[in-house]
Amino acid sequence: IEHLILHHHISSVEKLSLTTSGCPLLIQCRNFRVVHFVVPRERDCHDLYSSLLRLLRPVSFDELYAFSYNPKQNDQQREEGWQLIDLSAEFERMGVPCDQWHWTDVNREYKVCDSYPRDLYVPVAASKPIIVGSSKFRSKGRFPALTYFYQEKKAAVCRCSQPLSGFSARCLEDEHMLQAISKANPNSRYIYVMDTRPKLNALANRAAGKGYENEDNYSNIRFQFVGIENIHVMRASLQKLLEVVGARALSVTDYLLGLESSGWLRHIKAIVDAAIFLSKAVTAEGASVLVHCSDGWDRTAQVCSLGALLMDPYYRTLKGFMVLIEKDWISFGHKFADRCDQLDGDPKEVSPIFTQFLDCVWQLSEQFPQAFQFSEWFLIQIHEHVHSCQFGNFLCNSQRQREELQLREKTYSLWSFLLSEQHNYENPLYSAALAERNPVLEPSTQPCHFKFWTNMYHQYDRTMHPRQSLLKHLLAVRESSCALEKTAHELEAVGARDLSVLLHVVPPTLMCGEGLPARSDGERTVEGSSATENSYAELQGPFGAKAEPHLVSLEFGVARMTC
Amino acid sequence: MEFAELIKTPRVDGVVLHRPFMPTVEGTLCLTGHHLILSSRQDNTEELWLLHSNIDYIEKRFVGSLGTIIVKCKDLRIIQLDIPGMEECLNIASSIEALSTLDSVSLMYPFFYRPMFEVVEDGWNMFLPEEITLTLLTDEWRLSSVNKDFGVCPTYPQLVAVPKAVDDDTLRKVATFRHGGRFPVLSYYHKKNGMVMMRAGQPLTGTNGRRCKEDEKLINATLRPGKRGYIIDTRAINVAQQAKARGGGFEQEASYPQWRRIHKAIERYNILQESLIKLVEACNDQSQSMDRWLSKLEASNWQTHVKEIVTTACLAAQCIDREGASVLVHGTEGTDSTLQVTSLAQIILDPCCRTMRGFQSLVEREWLQAGHPFQQRCAQSAYSNSKARLEAPVFLLFLDCVWQVLRQFPCSFQFNEHFLVLLFEHAYASQFGTFLGNNAAERLKLKLPQKTVSLWSWVNRPQEMERFLNPLYEPNNLVIWPSVAPQSLLLWEGVFLRWNRSSKCLDEAYDEMVHIIEYNKELQSKVNALRRQLAQLETGDGLLETP
């Protein structure tokens, strides 16, 4: 058996104390894999340890795997991969530009906001001086810009960062900007301003000259805190969660209490709650909403993207989900490089913000098994590659950085790769007709409907998984149905023709090949199923010691272990 | 006694019914001897027919002259009836209370119920004990009728399987040494390696370590030469120690040198009942935070009980299948945790028990015949305030454990989750006689086969059966080893969250899954038919010859 681990996936390497069989090395990965192996000679172990440490800490982007990864595509194929997602086409799909919203070139040179994309959409009534003025009053220059347009009610979802209001500062341009957003929606007299932070955090920010909108200064806004915690709380929460579920011989009590004290599900619920608030304001009240947090690239991205996912069935398709990530996460400058620790950087910047978004999507897919065109495997695969640095999409912190590094010329796009194996990621229960009938999802927010995502956080621990995968089974059945349809079609065509042709047309493979994959012993359908893997109790003596890998080698980009 | 005496007000008009996730209905409320019925002239509304025996607890509230009765059912559903008129409301409430707590078994609905369907296969005769056990028997085992008048063990059936080498006199002696006369009997025979699982009541060793040569002889007679066995005591060691003071105890190593004893801690009685009450309370609390939910779920301990039972069953299965050892399981009486373990172990080991018929047979054999006191255990469910000591969701926990294994092996069971939910419902309240009484002797006395209809007679009709069949089923002859990690054991939403979420999306998804599989089957038969046609064309001569 061979195990390959991408260096980029490794989040920590730890040398444990020497044992009789050798020197144990514990590797923890960002895709929640934990590898524990024993190197017979301490010296080798030390060498391995120090080389890993060196390799784990790339200092510049061009050291990342994406720059050496070559999937044997020509330039044209690569180019096509990058062209797959076109955000201006996406805004057109929403009905923008329109009489109230238009494209602006104000950020053409990334001069107004270097973490925003070049192409932005703003109310027609917001002139350039207003935009520029507003941007100066917003943290990191992230002024209010359109991210989703709900055509049916002409309600907009805009996003920005916190205002630099301190205790009393005002900015007329910013007030105008919000007024313009409000006026652009003829269906509602007010707009919601959602500050996704807990009120205390927002208050504390005022002392640093930042803060939140004073309702007295802005006409017709309804201000709302929604209380999602910051990146540091989320980082600690995931760490605690992984400690809890990683414990050996975990009891139900420790599991549930650990789940509670980690706060992970509480945070997930807070994000979903905020997205529901956003979706209801837009779809039910027809009001426009401006969403922000501190810098507007973490919680804001979570809430805007999840809210749009609730409102618009398109984002629940494979392609639409890619567009959504490309729009609300990549183009609006979620700092993937910092949050996912791509380069040797500040550990305090690392945080599982995007993982939480995927977790929220999974929670929804559990409540609405037919609403998503993709299965959890798609989410897990995206998560894998957000950390793998194998594709260019998630590298860097902003569009501007990506252009500087010429990622489109030097790396490949994940999306075309995922689409090429789309059939693996499809949800066989998906119903497009249902999406048309009930376009807006209204999930339950009762705590009991939020669950721990075993297949994500234990994706490498097969002993935890259901032993027979429903998803895999249904995909196989569907594939078999496709083959059978084809066969039936051919047989009907043959039957209609002359007999003499028959013998040549029906290839012998048709006579047995299709149908469900043959299962001789059932062994294949029952995975990871052995009593020894589960350790039910303390019977005398070990039932068989686990084979230790005895060969460890480091190659470019991967650690290779062979048993 | 006439039911009419108990019904103070037989009907009230203008009653409004609120049910979870269903539109409210206004109509006429009628009380009969066994049912609470609400029918309406409104179109497209479903009538409510609720068995009084399904009512666990009722609450009354008044606002002015409008009374409200909250009816809490044993299947965990909560419905609300708004009744105009205080007197009517009080009358209805006291009638329901009286009718839902009838003392006499023979007044229960199953004795009055007449099936609207033709009984094709009588469930009462489906699983005769001879048939059940004969199929298992080898030349090492025999059927004994030592208990034919229920004199040796009042909670055993008339026929039990015992080692051939042990005669009935010995059995009688052993019975005096085992709690409730429950001497060790065969529960399961593992065809693969000839190992067996037995169950019994605790040995009555008492504080001075009483021995019983016959008991030792019987148990050792089940071991093949040179083989060892395991005794799984479902109580923690300290609980088993304490049992000695009350005359019970456990097998001492010195007396049973070929056996190794393992203690597991499976809870019983009021601890389980409290656990269920807490769990259901947590599930029904709609206004709580995540932290409160998780801590209440934890405090209920329900999932801990599930894990403990599954783990113990896996341990028993592991001893038999992997260690090649025979196993004896007992707790105190041998009617509760013992049966959870022996029956779940069979689900893991024996593919037959994962079929529709096999599972019914398992319930019949390991629960009904084995003397699990259903009537006592299922008298009240999660909403009852009464401090009765005999109620406990032992069978519900077993069903929960089966669901956990089913969820982990979704293609290995011929029946689906709905079937498990059905058994839960009928164990607590039913029109069928199957779960009445506490043991075989009581059932015989009540003449249930003559006077009531069996649940199996109804379930096994093709029309009904279809709903309970798992479309994903593919027979699988393997031993299936479930994961017992807390992350792998989920809350059984189909029972505990059933009434506080809309099941529409999940039901539709299930239907779609059935559709995908049915479509595949249709295509397969279509292709096969086309092939046959073509084959006939190919041998065209033959076709011409036949007129």
Q: Do the Cβ atoms of A447 and B294 come closer than 8 Å?
A: yes
| pLDDT reading at B539 higher than 90 | no
Catalytic residue among A23, A45, A171, A293: A293
Quote the CA–CA distance of A502 and B435 in Å, as a whole number: 61
Burial A298-331 (b: 16+ CB within 10 A, else e): bbbbbbbbbbbbbbbbbbbbbbbbbbbbbbbbbb
When mean pLDDT is compared across A76-90, B117-131, B442-456, the lowest value belongs to B117-131
Q: Which of A467, A487, A521, A535 to mutate to test the interface with B (most CBs of B within 10 A)?
A: A467
| pLDDT reading at B130 higher than 60 | no
Contact B513 A466 (CB under 8 A): no
Q: Which of A367, A491, A543 sits opposite B530 (nearest CB)?
A: A491
| pLDDT reading at B1 higher than 90 | no
Q: Quick one: closest CA in A to B289, which residue?
A: A447
Question: Greater confidence, A42 or B136?
Answer: A42
Per-residue pLDDT of chain A (563 residues; tens, 9 = 90+): 566 788 888 888 888 888 888 888 888 888 898 888 788 888 888 888 888 888 777 888 888 888 888 888 888 888 999 999 999 999 999 999 999 999 999 999 999 999 999 999 999 999 999 999 999 999 999 999 999 999 999 999 999 999 999 998 999 999 999 999 999 999 999 999 999 999 999 999 999 999 999 999 998 899 999 999 999 999 999 999 999 999 888 999 999 999 999 999 999 999 999 999 999 999 999 999 999 999 999 999 999 999 999 999 999 999 999 999 999 999 999 999 999 999 888 999 999 999 999 999 999 999 999 999 999 999 999 999 999 999 999 999 999 999 999 999 999 999 999 999 999 999 999 999 999 999 999 999 999 999 999 999 998 887 777 788 899 999 999 999 999 999 998 888 877 665 444 444 443 333 333 334 433 333 333 443 454 455 565 554 333 333 333 344 444 444 444 43
pLDDT for res A24: 86
Contact A251 B283 (CB under 8 A): no
Task: Name the token pair of B519.
Answer: 């479509």
Quote the CA–CA distance of A346 and A341 in Å, as a whole number: 8
Q: How close A512 gets to chain B, by Cα (Å)?
A: 10
Q: Which of B234, B284, B294 to mutate to test the interface with A (most CBs of A within 10 A)?
A: B294
Quote the CA–CA distance of A157 and A149 in Å, as a whole number: 6
Q: Does B21 touch chain A (CB under 8 A)?
A: no
pLDDT for res A548: 36
Q: Does B262 touch chain A (CB under 8 A)?
A: yes
Task: List phi, psi (to 5°) of B374.
Answer: -55, -45
Q: Which of B293, B317, B318 sits opposite A448 (nearest CB)?
A: B293
pLDDT for res B389: 78
Enter the pTM of the model. Answer: 0.92
Q: How close B43 gets to chain A, by Cα (Å)?
A: 24
Contact B409 A255 (CB under 8 A): no
pLDDT for res A192: 97
Q: How close B19 gets to chain A, by Cα (Å)?
A: 18
Question: Greater confidence, B26 or A513?
Answer: B26
Average pLDDT over residues B116-122: 86
Q: Which of B487, B506, B540 sits opposite A499 (nearest CB)?
A: B540
Is A377 a known ligand-binding residue?
Answer: no
Quote the CA–CA distance of A132 and A143 in Å, as a whole number: 8
Contact A537 B409 (CB under 8 A): no
Quote the CA–CA distance of B184 and B165 in Å, as a whole number: 14
| pLDDT reading at B443 higher than 80 | yes
Q: Quick one: closest CA in B to A249, which residue?
A: B485
In the stretch 385-424 of chain B, residues with CB closer than 8 A to chain A read 407-412
B81 strand-pairing partners: B17, B69
Q: Which of B233, B281, B285, B290 to mutate to test the interface with A (most CBs of A within 10 A)?
A: B290
Contact B512 A245 (CB under 8 A): no
Helices (H), A84-157: 87-94, 128-136
Q: How close A251 gets to chain B, by Cα (Å)?
A: 7
Average pLDDT over residues B422-441: 96
What does the angle CA B273 – CA B279 – CA B280 come to, to the nearest 5 degrees? 95
Q: How close A539 gets to chain B, by Cα (Å)?
A: 9
Q: How close B546 gets to chain A, by Cα (Å)?
A: 19
Quote the CA–CA distance of B319 and B195 in Å, as a whole number: 9
pLDDT for res B540: 61
Q: Quick one: closest CA in A to B530, which residue?
A: A491
Number of Cα atoms under 13 Å in the Cβ half of residue A40: 5
Q: Which of B295, B319, B483 sits opposite A463 (nearest CB)?
A: B483
Q: Is the ipTM of this complex over 0.85?
A: yes
Q: Do the Cβ atoms of A158 and A147 come closer than 8 Å?
A: yes
Is A295 a known ligand-binding residue?
Answer: yes
When mean pLDDT is compared across B25-29, B128-132, B343-347, B509-513, the lowest value belongs to B128-132
Q: Do the Cβ atoms of B161 and B289 come closer than 8 Å?
A: no
Reported as type and span, the H/E element at residue B170 is helix B168-177
Cα B330 to Cα B159, B217, B289, distances in angstroms: 20, 17, 41
Q: Quick one: closest CA in B to A435, which residue?
A: B505
In the stretch 298-317 of chain B, residues with CB closer than 8 A to chain A read 298, 301, 303-304, 306-307, 311, 314-315, 317
CB pairs under 8 A between A and B: 213
pLDDT for res A557: 44
Contact B481 A534 (CB under 8 A): yes
Q: Does B285 touch chain A (CB under 8 A)?
A: no
| pLDDT reading at B204 higher than 50 | yes
Is A296 a known ligand-binding residue?
Answer: yes
Contact A464 B490 (CB under 8 A): no
Q: Which amino acid, A201?
A: N
Task: For the sheet with B185-190, list strands across it.
Answer: B185-190, B195-199, B326-330, B229-233, B259-263
**Cβ neighbours of B322 in A, within 8 Å:** 531-532, 543
Q: Quick one: closest CA in A to B537, which residue?
A: A499
pLDDT mean across residues, chain B: 91
**Cβ neighbours of A465 in B, within 8 Å:** 483, 488
pLDDT for res A533: 53
Q: Which of B485, B517, B527 sits opposite A488 (nearest CB)?
A: B527
Q: Which of B411, B497, B508 sits opposite A370 (nearest CB)?
A: B508
pLDDT for res B207: 92
pLDDT for res A454: 93
Query: Does residue A293 have an active-site annotation?
Result: yes
pLDDT for res A462: 75
A256 strand-pairing partners: none
Q: Does B530 touch chain A (CB under 8 A)?
A: yes
Q: Which of B306, B410, B479 sits opposite A470 (nearest CB)?
A: B410
pLDDT for res A406: 94
Burial class (CB in 10 A: 0-12, 13-18, 19+), B41: exposed
**Cβ neighbours of A501 in B, within 8 Å:** none
Q: Does B480 touch chain A (CB under 8 A)?
A: yes
Reported as type and span, the H/E element at residue A2 is strand A2-6
Residue-wise pLDDT for B43-101, tens only, equals 777 789 999 999 999 999 988 888 999 999 999 999 999 999 889 999 999 999 999 98
A157 strand-pairing partners: A148, A289
**Cβ neighbours of B529 in A, within 8 Å:** none
pLDDT for res A23: 86
Q: Does B485 touch chain A (CB under 8 A)?
A: yes
